[in-house]
């Protein structure tokens, strides 16, 4: 059973990472290694600053509940919508269930797929924190054994909860004609709940700092296993460690045992689709090519909860930021986080940074070609120019996501009492970044398409184009931020933004030219 699960897992990794592709065989591990090191350093620095801050209150032990809950929320957010495609109603279910493979082997492989990502999150949240703590407080060898045990067992409960949510969404949606719509709405609700939970965490930490005496009882109140983690790591408490391992293990094994009995049936039932068979033609709307393509693109986008959720993340976060800025002093929160870097930001600068970070997270185009998948032949064989195909894909981004970003920024500009000039500059910046990003995304996707995938998650999240479309712009923003820090004494922030708008306009024009030439040429070579 385990052997077959391992074979399936190995094949899945080879297939999804395309490790048989000679170019990727060297590039992919290198990319992940470089990216991993950067992320590790970032988490290390963040936990170091945070731990130092806590130490001033003599509350260094709080770093474990804080980073563990951060990791758990991240795991829940990532796994919940992944569970739908990874654990239930997966594309290769017919193939796998038709083979002499025990359902338990398939289940184990699917859980391993889900947990792999959770372990990566766990690695980046727990390990740097543990190293930082060991530098600030006295620890013994037992500490590292406990860290290893917590690393192994921490992803169990988030995976379990995510799988249950995934099942509930799948179960309800498979009984409706509007399957994808229900999936999208449910996933949004869960996503917002998690986001709400993460904001509550920040407030809770602030409360804990002010009410140090209640720390332990509050940690227990938030999520009891957090208290076990804290006690095990900070006080070498064996009992807490054993309780943490046993509770996680029993919950997880019970879940696997129950799911094992239902797994095949659940998946088979989810394959059954709603069919009304009562169509009566009353009239059909006539559209021009661009409108028809846009309608098609928007329907495909809105019907894919994975695609929509992943690309709405930035826009929704910006909206939440804007709305929450009515109630909280968000720039003060940002400055508190940056306290140890010696950087102080104005409200306006915080807004610009949020915009620069969130814009790449809300771009739909880096996966738009990949999402055509095996249906690519339809566009390729139709009498429509490549530029119109690109335009229809960019229109989803520009007419659906960009307005949300602009609205969010306008709301925030009211809260932060920005001047008309500042608001206009911000508006122009968002607009030009949006136009540049959408073209950049589509170019990247043409260059690095992922047309063959088992789950849509691979195309939306797992493709090289989707990753590069996030990391390249964020790196550029970071570099531009550094440049401003150097030039701060000789140039005003507004003038610097105007120069950037000019620069991005040139980039947008160059990207357009790139799409018309290189983009069209490469698109014609795409084949699935």
Partner 1 sequence: MLIIENFSKTYNNGSKAVDRLSFKINNGELFGFIGHNGAGKTTTIKSIVGILNFEEGEILIDGISIKKNPLKYKQKIAYIPDNPDIYESLTAIQYLNFVADMYGVDKKTRMDNIKIYSNMFEIYESLGDVISGFSHGMKQKIALISAFIHEPDIIVLDEPFVGLDPKASFTLKKLMRDYCNNGHSILFSTHGLEVAEKICDKIAIIKKGRLIKIGTIKEIVGDKTLEDIFMEVFTDD
Q: Could you tell me the two tokens for 182? A: 């229900």
Q: Minimal distance in Å, beta carbon 95 to partner 1?
A: 14
Cα 2 → chain centroid: 30
Closer to partner 1 by Cβ: residue 160 or 376: 376
Helical (H) or strand (E) element with 282: none
> Interface with partner 1 by CB under 8 A: which range of 79-87, 125-133, 395-403, 520-528?
520-528
Contact string 335-374 vs partner 1 (x = CB under 8 A): --------------------------------------xx
> What stretches of 305-398 show up as alpha helix (H) in DSSP?
305-327, 330-337, 347-361, 376-381, 386-396
Q: Could you tell me the two tokens for 111? A: 């859980």
Q: Minimal distance in Å, beta carbon 380 to partner 1?
A: 5
Tell me: does residue 524 bind partner 1 (CB under 8 A). Answer: yes
> What stretches of 87-178 show up as alpha helix (H) in DSSP?
93-98, 103-136, 141-153, 156-173
Closer to partner 1 by Cβ: residue 173 or 439: 173
Helix/strand/coil for 482: helix
Closer to partner 1 by Cβ: residue 83 or 371: 371
Closer to partner 1 by Cβ: residue 291 or 516: 291
Closer to partner 1 by Cβ: residue 10 or 374: 374
Q: Minimal distance in Å, beta carbon 185 to partner 1?
A: 15
Closer to partner 1 by Cβ: residue 279 or 327: 279
Angle between the 22-56 and 464-487 helix axes, to the nearest 10 degrees?
50
Q: Minimal distance in Å, beta carbon 387 to partner 1?
A: 11
Tell me: does residue 23 bind partner 1 (CB under 8 A). Answer: no
Closer to partner 1 by Cβ: residue 387 or 404: 387
Tell me: does residue 385 bind partner 1 (CB under 8 A). Answer: yes
Helix/strand/coil for 297: helix
Q: Nearest-CA neighbor of 457 among 276, 327, 306? A: 306
Q: Minimal distance in Å, beta carbon 94 to partner 1?
A: 11
Closer to partner 1 by Cβ: residue 273 or 419: 273
Q: Which of 22, 383, 420, 421 binds partner 1 (CB under 8 A)?
A: 383
Tell me: does residue 447 bind partner 1 (CB under 8 A). Answer: no
Tell me: does residue 381 bind partner 1 (CB under 8 A). Answer: yes
Q: Minimal distance in Å, beta carbon 287 to partner 1?
A: 5
Q: Minimal distance in Å, beta carbon 289 to partner 1?
A: 6
Tell me: does residue 304 bind partner 1 (CB under 8 A). Answer: yes
Query: How far apart (Å, rounded) are the C-alpha atoms in residues 50 and 485?
Result: 23
What residues contact 214, with CB distance under 8 A and at least 6 apart? 208
Residues in the chain: 528
Q: Which of 245, 300, 318, 400 binds partner 1 (CB under 8 A)?
A: 300
Q: Could you tell me the two tokens for 205? A: 């930490």
Q: Could you tell me the two tokens for 325? A: 């800025």
Q: SS3 string of 449-469?
A: CCCCCCCHHHHHCCCHHHHHH
Q: Which of 377, 399, 478, 518 binds partner 1 (CB under 8 A)?
A: 377
Q: Which of 22, 23, 213, 285 binds partner 1 (CB under 8 A)?
A: 285
Closer to partner 1 by Cβ: residue 321 or 523: 523
Q: Which of 211, 261, 346, 375 binds partner 1 (CB under 8 A)?
A: 375
Using a CB cutoff of 8 Å and minimum separation of 24, what contacts does 414-423 make? 415/322, 415/325, 415/326, 416/325, 416/331, 416/347, 416/348, 416/351, 418/347, 418/348, 418/351, 421/494, 422/348, 422/494
Q: CA 97, 102, 105 angle in degrees (round to 5)?
A: 100
Interface with partner 1: number of residues (CB under 8 A)? 41
Closer to partner 1 by Cβ: residue 300 or 497: 300
Tell me: does residue 91 bind partner 1 (CB under 8 A). Answer: no
Within 245-284, which residues bind partner 1 (CB under 8 A)?
273-279, 281, 283-284
Q: Nearest-CA neighbor of 432 among 497, 521, 514? A: 497
CA distances, 42 to each of 47, 124, 482 (Å): 9, 9, 16
Backbone torsions φ then ψ of 178, nearest 5 degrees? -90, 55
Q: Which of 289, 484, 491, 496 binds partner 1 (CB under 8 A)?
A: 289
Q: Nearest-CA neighbor of 64 among 223, 273, 284? A: 223
Cβ burial of 482 (10 Å; 0-12, 13-18, 19+) is exposed
Contact string 173-192 vs partner 1 (x = CB under 8 A): ----x-xx------------
Q: Minimal distance in Å, beta carbon 391 to partner 1?
A: 14
Interface positions with partner 1 (CB under 8 A): 177, 179-180, 273-279, 281, 283-289, 291-293, 295-296, 299-300, 303-304, 373-375, 377-378, 380-385, 524-525, 527
């Amino acid at each position: 059973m385990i052997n077959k699960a391992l074979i399936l897992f190995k094949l899945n990794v080879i297939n999804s990472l395309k490790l048989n592709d000679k170019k990727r065989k060297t590039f992919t591990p290198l990319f992940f290694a470089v990216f991993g090191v950067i992320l590790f350093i970032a988490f290390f620095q963040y936990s170091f600053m945070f731990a130092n801050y806590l130490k001033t209150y003599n509350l260094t032990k709080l770093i474990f509940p804080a980073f563990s809950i951060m990791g758990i929320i991240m795991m829940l957010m990532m796994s919940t919508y992944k569970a739908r495609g990874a654990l239930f109603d997966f594309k290769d279910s017919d193939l796998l269930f038709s083979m002499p493979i025990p359902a338990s082997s398939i289940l184990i492989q699917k859980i391993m797929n889900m947990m792999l990502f959770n372990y990566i999150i766990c690695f980046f949240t727990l390990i740097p924190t543990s190293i930082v703590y060991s530098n600030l407080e006295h620890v013994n060898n037992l500490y590292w054994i406990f860290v290893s045990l917590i690393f192994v067992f921490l992803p169990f409960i988030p995976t379990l909860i995510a799988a249950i949510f995934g099942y509930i969404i799948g179960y309800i949606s498979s009984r409706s004609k509007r399957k994808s719509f229900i999936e999208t709405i449910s996933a949004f609700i869960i996503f917002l709940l998690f986001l709400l939970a993460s904001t509550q965490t920040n407030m809770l930490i602030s409360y804990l700092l002010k009410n140090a005496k209640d720390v332990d009882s509050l940690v227990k109140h938030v999520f009891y296993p957090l208290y076990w983690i804290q006690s095990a790591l900070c006080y070498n408490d064996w009992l807490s460690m054993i309780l943490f391992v046993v509770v996680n293990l029993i919950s997880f094994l019970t879940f696997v045992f129950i799911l094992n009995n239902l797994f095949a049936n659940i998946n088979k039932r989810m394959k059954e689709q709603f069919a009304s068979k009562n169509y009566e033609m009353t009239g059909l709307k006539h559209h021009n090519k661009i409108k028809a393509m846009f309608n098609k693109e928007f329907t495909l986008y809105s019907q894919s909860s994975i695609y929509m959720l992943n690309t709405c993340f930035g826009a929704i976060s910006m909206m939440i930021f804007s709305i929450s800025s009515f109630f909280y002093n968000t720039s003060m929160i940002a400055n508190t986080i940056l306290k140890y870097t010696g950087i102080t930001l104005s409200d306006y600068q915080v807004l610009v940074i949020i915009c620069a970070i969130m814009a790449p997270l809300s771009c739909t185009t880096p996966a738009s070609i990949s999402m055509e998948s095996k249906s690519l032949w339809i566009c390729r064989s139709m009498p429509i120019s490549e530029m119109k195909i690109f335009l229809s894909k960019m229109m989803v981004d520009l007419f659906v996501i960009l307005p949300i970003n602009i609205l969010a920024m306008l709301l925030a500009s009211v809260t932060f009492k920005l001047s008309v000039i500042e608001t206009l500059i911000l508006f122009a910046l968002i607009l030009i970044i949006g136009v540049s990003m959408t073209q950049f995304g589509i170019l990247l996707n043409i260059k690095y398409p992922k047309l063959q995938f088992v789950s849509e998650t691979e195309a939306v999240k797992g493709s090289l184009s989707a990753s590069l479309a996030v990391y390249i712009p964020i790196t550029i923003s970071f570099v531009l931020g550094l440049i401003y820090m150097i030039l701060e004494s000789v140039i005003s922030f507004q003038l610097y933004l105007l120069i950037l708008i000019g620069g991005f306009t040139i980039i947008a024009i160059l990207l357009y030219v790139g799409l018309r030439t290189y983009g069209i040429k490469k698109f014609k070579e795409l084949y699935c």
